[in-house]
Amino acid sequence: MGQNVVSKVVAPRPERDPAKVHELTLEQVRTLLEAASGGRLYALWLVLISMGLRKGEALALRWSDLDMKTGTINVRRTLIRVKGQGLSFGTTKTDDSRRSCFMPVPVQVALQSHWVDQEAERLRAGSVWEDHGLVFPTSTGRPIEPSNLNRQFDTLLRHAGLGHDRVHNLRHTAATLLRAYGGVDLHDLKEILGHSTIATTSDLYGHVVPVVQRELMNNVASLLVPPADGQAVN
C-alpha cells in the first residue's frame, strides 16, 4: 500500500505578529477591570482575562455549564458565524478544547452577581426575552454578535484610557499572567487553554517565566549591590 508523502510534510508555523498578538500588563489589566466594574459585561471580561477562554467559547456558555459546587466551568461549545446562516453554536475548536476549567473565587462571585442582574434584565424584557440559557447574552437574551463584542471592547478600552486592542489578546493576557505570576507550568497551561499540543503552548508561552525570573533576580541582586548612578539593570 502506497504512502501519502504529503502527510510527512511539516507545514511551517505562522510567526506571531507582535503588533496583533500580545498581552496586557498587570497594571493595564487592573485599569481595564476597574473601568469595567459595574458594567453588565464585567463578569465576561473577568472570565476572559483570568481563565483564558476563547471569545466564542465564552459567548456560548450556558448556565448549565457552570457548577458552583465544584467551582468549574465546562467548555463544550463555541459561538460562530456561519456564512449565509448567521450565528450558530458549534463544537469547540478541537477535541482538547472541550474541557473543565476551575473558576477562581472572584470569578464565582462575579458570576453570581451577574446572574442576579440577568434575572432583573429578564423581568424588564418580558415577552421580548429569548431564553437560550446563555451566561452572556444581549439584554434580550439573544447571543451576542462577536463583532459587537469587539466594538464594546473598544469602548471599554477608550473609557479605561488604553489603546486599541483585540478581545483575543485577553486570552494571551490570561495565559501570561497564569504562567508568570501564578507559576502554572506548561502542561497545566495547555489543559487550561485547551491547546491540542504542548508544543503550541510552549511556542507561545515557554518564554514567559525565564523573562520574569530574570527581572526578579535582577531586583534581588540590586538590593544586595545597588547599581551605580546611571547604570541600568537589564
Active site residue 93: yes
Active site residue 172: no
Task: Answer whether 46's CB lies under 8 Å from 37's CB.
Answer: no
What are the phi and psi torsion angles at 58 (to 5°)? -65, -40
Residue of 54, 77, 114, 172 with catalytic role = 54
The residue whose grid cell reads 493576557 is 173
Residue of 55, 99, 114, 171 with catalytic role = 171
DSSP label at residue 84: T
What are the phi and psi torsion angles at 69 (to 5°)? -70, -40
CA gap 131, 47 in Å, rounded: 22
CA gap 206, 191 in Å, rounded: 15
CA gap 9, 183 in Å, rounded: 36
Active site residue 69: no
Report the interhelical angle of 198-205 vs 186-193 (nearest 10°): 110
- DSSP three-state, residue 143: strand
Active site residue 55: no
Residue of 40, 62, 93, 122 with catalytic role = 93
CA gap 50, 234 in Å, rounded: 29
- Give me the active site residues, please: 54, 93, 171, 195, 205
